[in-house]
Amino acid sequence: MSFASPIFLWYFMPALLVVVWLTPRSARNLVVALFSLLFYVWGAGTFVFLLLACIAVNYAAGRLVEPGRGGASERSRKLWLAATASFDVGILAIWKYGTFAQQQFHALVHDFGGSTGSVLRIALPIGISFFTFHHLSYVIDVYRGVRPAQRHPVAFVTYIAMFPQLIAGPIVRYHEIADQLPERRPDRLGDFAAGFPRFAHGLAKKVIVADSIGPIADSIFALSSNQLTTPAAWLGALAYALQIYFDFSGYSDMAIGLGRMLGFRLPENFARPYSAVSITDFWRRWHMSLSRWFRDYLYIPLGGNRGSAGRTYFNLYLVFALVGFWHGANWTFLIWGLYHGSWLVLERVTGYRSWADERLRVLRRLFTYFVVVVGWVFFRAPNLHAAGSMLQAMFVPRFGPLPDTVTAAANTQRTLTFALALLVVLIPGRFVLGRFLEASTSRIGSLARVGVTAVAAPYAAVLVAAGTFSPFLYFRF
Amino acid sequence: MRTVSEQVGPVAPPRWLRGPWRWLVLALAAAFFFAPVGVRVFGVRAKPIENRPLVAFPPLSRGFHIFADLTQWSIDHLPLRKLAVRTNARLSEDLFGEPPTYNVAGAPVGIGQGAALAGGARPAPGGSFDNMVISGSHGWLFLGDEFVRGCTPDFTLTQFTAALRRLDTIVTASGRKLVLIVAPDKDTVDQRFVSSSTPFAACSRQAKAERWAALGALGLPDFVDLLPRLQVEERTTGQPSFLALDSHWSDRSSTTVFVKSMLDALSPSLYASARVAPGPRQAYTGDLSVLNGAPMQGSDVRWLLTRPGVAPGATTTTTPFLNFPITHYVNAARPGVPLVRPHTLLYGDSFSVRALDQIAPFFADLTYIPEVSRGAVEGPQARAAAIAALAEQIRSADVVVVEQAERELVSAVGSILAPDVLDALQSALAKAPRGRGLSVR
């Protein structure tokens, strides 16, 4: 179930809100947990049993790895932690990477002249990357003694399955939310009012902007290599850069807003990433919850930057290879991760990352944006060959008219949305529209916030409802 | 060096959300989430706005499939949806001067879910319009598919002509008569209303010209070439053949060109025996405007065709055929009034359906069967059933009239020229040859 769907907006949410408000404050977690499982089963069907099994295993493991547990030895806790982490990673490996691994094996055997049976296709459970990382965060935080193990199964299910963050994040580390789980929020209407504008702004970013720009990018990434021209390739890469930002940050805004409506404060996930002045800076602003997760649970345990320069570079490469692969089982994602890892290493080697933010700010910002946009080509292309064709068209000048498929996709409305979105991400970094709308305490700020909500929410609602319209041509029959 | 706070949001609602602002936001939020439920409580019910009935509430016996079924049910039964569709269409046309697009907002893009989600839906090979309808000049609307399929047909010109020959051979070699009619696309006939900037238009125009030339050059004995006849009609009347808001031609073109040409191919005496006259002007709702989500009305002169001396017999609707009936007409005529006597099968699309009342009285025994693309919409099994039904109907006929729109004829899914359709026809007709020929008495 997508947040930007009629079933979610006008059936699921009203039902949830009514039940939340009609039940005692103490029942919040139970209501959220039950509705979250319903949310999951709606999109994932029987995979809900996999989710529940993982929840059960990790809930039990939390008690076993907790420090001071009935005299359990450090060694035993460590073993339980290793076993649980292996279980979680194994689940992810099988369901997310199993098909890919088989394909590579079959290709390898084929290359050596052998033959194999058919590839067993394994369906990908929705949200598996997210709930696996939540589980790992939980057992590691508990093992480290950062937070005690969760005693209440309902609260644990609420943390893992909480629908606002279940399918697209943000990735909430356990210690960020553990203290919120037992809360009985005194001002539920206040929470609801605080969350709604954020949700509406996110919905607008997703539905009005990202979904409008998406077809432009889709039409260009679908071109064959002989149809690609340099302007078309850049248009496609820029369109995808905008689409993924407004889509993903819009989803995060919706998640944070929904969480807030229910009395949870979820961590921020974006901080104007296209204002970054370096790739190091970019990763402090893009998918921040993922960066923090990898930093806390992998980069620092590997030694972070405390060892030699070589060791630090190795750690960075390893982490970003995994960051890339986490996004999908395809070589394109791995290359994308390594591409970013390489820039991070380069910025360390040259000392570029230590430059003051203001130094050559505009040029550095444009260069960073350029690097990021080029990187998105690997992320979006269906395979490395397609990515190569796209990059070749971007950097080896080749001109010609835009193919009809592109001009058909880039209608007036979408072109205008694309231009405005590009303007928004390229305006000076000090003027942050989202921050103004979110945090300004002035009367004008309040008016702008409510005004934008009052326009954006209904327009987004119209697009969501109208987007379901699918008549059949031969209606006269 | 910039640092980004890792603090989660504040515990208490923000300061600005006190006093009237809070109530204003709450009112907005309540209206946003509860408006459809609210109006439903007050008796507002969703009505069908697409060309199908609303989906019924799924039975619990569907198991886990019930969730997918419920999603469609919830969309269909969403109050105010019609208002949203109309508003979207109006905004798109008034603000941007173009028909609306209907993208279903959906899953997040490329976030940890693998390549399946990255980028969402991709255009079909050869490209497509997201908006089904394209605006032309002078308020004319066109079907986007006409341009796309015109430009990138599923069949090459060689495959197309070879398939047409094969169809002709299959039917005529079995002793049956085949009358083939291709209904030209709206943009083929009324190109002057197509905006020069329309994507695919130039390519489509060139490809269509080649295709029509090839069609004429095939020399099929009973091919009815409507394109020049419609062009002559336009020059004679000074009126466009097609309706501005509809994908079909006017009632005048339907009667005086389509019906006449079909009958002339069977016997020149048939059409002459009818009384044909223009009738009153009537309002119509353009199917293209309906596809646009903003129904508009135009008007068209209704043409009246009567057959003195023909007594309509039984009209039976036989098996429901993928929601569209196979219809069987039996007529009798006074001596001296000509009728096509052999059992005739008319395989046609909506152009035929619109003219059925005028066509049927010329036949003693006529069966109408809708085109197989209906089955394709429902899935492979339905398509197979549709093809089997078509083969069976043709097997029982002496005369076969095939009418199909140009855009559909070059579609691998909808065309009667699709290899699976032709294979089925070949197999069925080879076992049941006929030798009676055509008799019009």
**Cα–Cα distance for residue pair A202/A191, rounded to 1 Å:** 17
**Cα–Cα distance for residue pair B265/B262, rounded to 1 Å:** 5
Residue B68 is predicted with a pLDDT of: 85
pLDDT at B123 exceeding the cut of 50: no
Which residues of chain B lie closer than 8 angstroms to A472, CB-CB? 50-52, 377
Tell me which residue of A426, A444, A427, A445 sits closest to A435, measured CA to CA.
A445
Whether A466 contacts chain B with CB within 8 A: yes
Distance from CA of B424 to the nearest CA of A (A): 25
**Cα–Cα distance for residue pair A233/A391, rounded to 1 Å:** 8
User: In a mutagenesis test of the A interface, which of B8, B69, B70, B300 is the best target, namely the one with the most A β-carbons within 10 Å?
Assistant: B8
For chains A and B, CB pairs below 8 A equal: 303
Whether A224 contacts chain B with CB within 8 A: no
**Cα–Cα distance for residue pair A79/B63, rounded to 1 Å:** 40
CA dihedral A391, A392, A393, A396 (to 10 degrees): 130
A64 and A154, same domain (yes or no): yes
A230-261 and A361-380 helices cross at what angle (nearest 10)? Answer: 90
A137 and A252, same domain (yes or no): no
Name A428's Cβ contacts closer than 8 Å, sequence gap at least 6.
Answer: none
Q: Quick check: A327 and B114 CB within 8 A? A: yes
**Cα–Cα distance for residue pair B197/A412, rounded to 1 Å:** 12
Asked whether residue A336 is assigned to any structural domain, the reply reads no
Residue A471 is predicted with a pLDDT of: 67
Residue A207 is predicted with a pLDDT of: 92
Whether A330 contacts chain B with CB within 8 A: yes
Pairing mode of beta strands B275-285, B297-306:
antiparallel
pLDDT at B429 exceeding the cut of 50: yes
Six-digit token pair at B105? Answer: 């907002």
Residue B319 is predicted with a pLDDT of: 60
**Cα–Cα distance for residue pair A216/A418, rounded to 1 Å:** 9
A39 and A65, same domain (yes or no): yes
Which residues of chain A lie closer than 8 angstroms to B119, CB-CB? 214, 217-218, 221, 240, 380
How far out from the chain centre does Cα B242 lie?
15
Six-digit token pair at B5? Answer: 């706070």
Residue B418 is predicted with a pLDDT of: 87
A76 and A198, same domain (yes or no): no
Whether A217 contacts chain B with CB within 8 A: yes
Q: Which of A134, A327, A340, A385 is catalytic?
A: A327
Ranking B233-247, B257-271, B422-436 by mean pLDDT, the lowest is B422-436
**Cα–Cα distance for residue pair A135/A87, rounded to 1 Å:** 10
Residue A9 is predicted with a pLDDT of: 95
- Domains contained in chain A, number: 2
Distance from CA of B324 to the nearest CA of A (A): 7
Residue B60 is predicted with a pLDDT of: 84
Q: Quick check: A217 and B15 CB within 8 A? A: no
The full 3-state SS of A373-408, as one line of letters, equals HHHHHHHHCCCHHHHHHHHHHHHCCCCCCCCHHHHH
**Cα–Cα distance for residue pair A74/A40, rounded to 1 Å:** 36
pLDDT over 70, % of chain B: 85
Q: Which segment, A281-285, B107-111, B417-421, is predicted with the most confidence on average?
A: A281-285
Mark out the alpha helices in A127-229 (DSSP H runs): 128-144, 153-161, 163-166, 174-177, 188-204, 211-221
How far out from the chain centre does Cα A62 lie?
26
Residue A366 is predicted with a pLDDT of: 93
Number of helical H runs and strand E runs in chain A: 22, 0
Distance from CA of A296 to the nearest CA of B (A): 12
Cα R_g (chain A), whole angstroms = 24
Distance from CA of A396 to the nearest CA of B (A): 25
A395 and A448, same domain (yes or no): yes
Residue B122 is predicted with a pLDDT of: 34
A158 and A97, same domain (yes or no): yes
Which residues of chain B lie closer than 8 angstroms to A332, CB-CB? 115
Six-digit token pair at A150? Answer: 């969760």
Asked whether residue A328 is assigned to any structural domain, the reply reads no
Q: Going residue by residue through chain A (477 aa), what tens digit of pLDDT does each one get? A: 889 999 999 999 999 999 999 999 889 999 999 999 999 999 888 999 999 999 999 999 999 999 886 677 888 999 999 999 999 999 999 999 998 989 888 888 888 888 777 888 888 888 999 999 999 999 999 999 999 999 999 999 999 999 999 988 799 999 999 999 988 877 888 899 999 999 999 999 999 999 999 999 999 999 999 999 999 999 999 999 999 999 999 999 999 999 999 999 999 999 899 999 999 999 999 999 999 999 999 999 999 888 899 999 999 999 999 999 999 889 999 999 999 999 999 999 998 887 877 778 889 999 999 999 999 999 999 999 999 999 999 999 999 988 888 988 898 999 999 999 999 888 876 666 666 766 677 778 778 888 888 999 999 999 999 887 776 654 333
* Per-residue model confidence as pLDDT tens digits over B152-176: 888 888 988 999 999 999 999 989 9
Question: What does A174-188 look like in DSSP terms, one character per residue?
Answer: HHHHTTTTT---S-H
Which residues of chain B lie closer than 8 angstroms to A190, CB-CB? 12-13, 17, 22
Name A366's Cβ contacts closer than 8 Å, sequence gap at least 6.
Answer: none
- Other C-beta atoms lying within 10 Å of the C-beta of residue B93: 16
Domain boundary among A164, A184, A204: A184
Q: Quick check: A13 and B95 CB within 8 A? A: no
Residue B434 near residue B175 (C-beta atoms within 8 A): yes
Tell me which residue of A419, A471, A404 sits closest to A212, measured CA to CA.
A419
Whether A461 contacts chain B with CB within 8 A: yes
Distance from CA of B197 to the nearest CA of A (A): 9
Is residue A327 part of the annotated active site? The answer reads: yes
Give chain B's mean pLDDT. Answer: 83
- Phi and psi, residue B349, nearest 5°: -105, -155
**Cα–Cα distance for residue pair A53/A88, rounded to 1 Å:** 11
Domain boundary among A132, A159, A184: A184
Residue B3 is predicted with a pLDDT of: 43
Q: Which residues pair with B329 in a beta bridge?
A: B315, B366
Asked whether residue A39 is assigned to any structural domain, the reply reads yes
Name A192's Cβ contacts closer than 8 Å, sequence gap at least 6.
Answer: A17, A261, B26, B29
Q: Quick check: A476 and B287 CB within 8 A? A: yes
* Per-residue model confidence as pLDDT tens digits over B165-210: 999 999 999 899 999 999 999 999 999 999 888 888 888 899 999 9
Asked whether residue A224 is assigned to any structural domain, the reply reads yes
Whether A258 contacts chain B with CB within 8 A: no
User: What spatial distance separates the first Cα and last Cα of chain A, rounded to whole Å?
Assistant: 33
Residue B312 is predicted with a pLDDT of: 79
A36 and A178, same domain (yes or no): yes
Asked whether residue A297 is assigned to any structural domain, the reply reads no
A247 and A369, same domain (yes or no): yes
A128 and A36, same domain (yes or no): yes
Six-digit token pair at A25? Answer: 């404050």
**Cα–Cα distance for residue pair B175/B169, rounded to 1 Å:** 10
Six-digit token pair at B258? Answer: 């389509």
The more confident residue out of B105 and B31 is: B31
DSSP label of A210: I
Question: What does B17-57 look like in DSSP terms, one character per residue?
Answer: SSTHHHHHHHHHHHHHHHHHHHHHHTT------SSSPPPPP
Burial of B269 (0-12, 13-18, 19+ CB in 10 A): exposed
Which residues of chain A lie closer than 8 angstroms to B67, CB-CB? 41-43, 45
ipTM, interface predicted TM-score of the complex: 0.90
Residue B330 three-state SS: strand
**Cα–Cα distance for residue pair B122/A448, rounded to 1 Å:** 37
pLDDT at B140 exceeding the cut of 90: yes
Whether A351 contacts chain B with CB within 8 A: no
Residue with tokens 């066109």: B142
Q: Which residues pair with B134 in a beta bridge?
A: B142
Whether A132 contacts chain B with CB within 8 A: no
**Cα–Cα distance for residue pair B62/B402, rounded to 1 Å:** 40
The full 3-state SS of A330-380, as one line of letters, equals CHHHHHHHHHHHHHHHHHHHHCHHHCCCCCCHHHHHHHHHHHHHHHHHHHH
Which residues of chain A lie closer than 8 angstroms to B186, CB-CB? none
Asked whether residue A11 is assigned to any structural domain, the reply reads no
- Chain A 413-452, residues with CB within 8 Å of chain B CB atoms: 413-414, 416, 439-441, 445-446, 449-450
Distance from CA of A167 to the nearest CA of B (A): 9
Handedness of CA A258, A260, A265, A269 (dihedral sign): positive
Burial of A189 (0-12, 13-18, 19+ CB in 10 A): middle
Name B47's Cβ contacts closer than 8 Å, sequence gap at least 6.
Answer: B54, B82
Residue B121 is predicted with a pLDDT of: 35
**Cα–Cα distance for residue pair A260/A266, rounded to 1 Å:** 7
**Cα–Cα distance for residue pair A282/A301, rounded to 1 Å:** 22
Angle ∠(A448,A453,A456) on CA atoms, nearest 5: 115
Helix (H) or strand (E) run with residue B400 in it: strand B399-405
Pairing mode of beta strands B399-405, B177-183:
parallel
**Cα–Cα distance for residue pair B242/B251, rounded to 1 Å:** 9
Which residues of chain B lie closer than 8 angstroms to A285, CB-CB? 4
Residue A333 is predicted with a pLDDT of: 94
Residue A377 near residue A390 (C-beta atoms within 8 A): yes
The more confident residue out of A338 and B441 is: A338
Name A410's Cβ contacts closer than 8 Å, sequence gap at least 6.
Answer: A216, A219, A235, A402, A418
Tell me which residue of B91, B143, B131 sits closest to B288, measured CA to CA.
B143
The more confident residue out of B115 and B407 is: B407
Domain boundary among A165, A184, A203: A184
User: For residue A247, what are the domain limits?
Assistant: 191-277+355-476
Q: Quick check: A265 and B10 CB within 8 A? A: yes
Residue A466 is predicted with a pLDDT of: 87
Q: Quick check: A271 and B8 CB within 8 A? A: no
**Cα–Cα distance for residue pair A171/A159, rounded to 1 Å:** 11
A360 and A466, same domain (yes or no): yes
Q: Which of B8, B199, B290 sits opposite A408 (nearest CB)?
A: B199
Residue A340 is predicted with a pLDDT of: 97
Q: Quick check: A408 and B109 CB within 8 A? A: no
Tell me which residue of B215, B211, B233 sits closest to B224, measured CA to CA.
B215
Residue with tokens 């979904």: A211
Q: Which residues pair with B394 in a beta bridge?
A: none
Whether A366 contacts chain B with CB within 8 A: no
Which residues of chain B lie closer than 8 angstroms to A42, CB-CB? 67, 71
* Per-residue model confidence as pLDDT tens digits over B18-35: 778 889 999 999 999 999
Count the residues in chain A: 477
Mean pLDDT value across residues B274-303 = 91
Asked whether residue A457 is assigned to any structural domain, the reply reads yes
A156 and A67, same domain (yes or no): yes
Asked whether residue A154 is assigned to any structural domain, the reply reads yes
What single-letter amino acid sits at A360? Answer: L
Six-digit token pair at B291? Answer: 């596809």
Tell me which residue of A264, A274, A253, A266 sits closest to A457, measured CA to CA.
A253
Residue B124 is predicted with a pLDDT of: 38
A271 and A417, same domain (yes or no): yes
Q: Quick check: B131 and A458 CB within 8 A? A: no
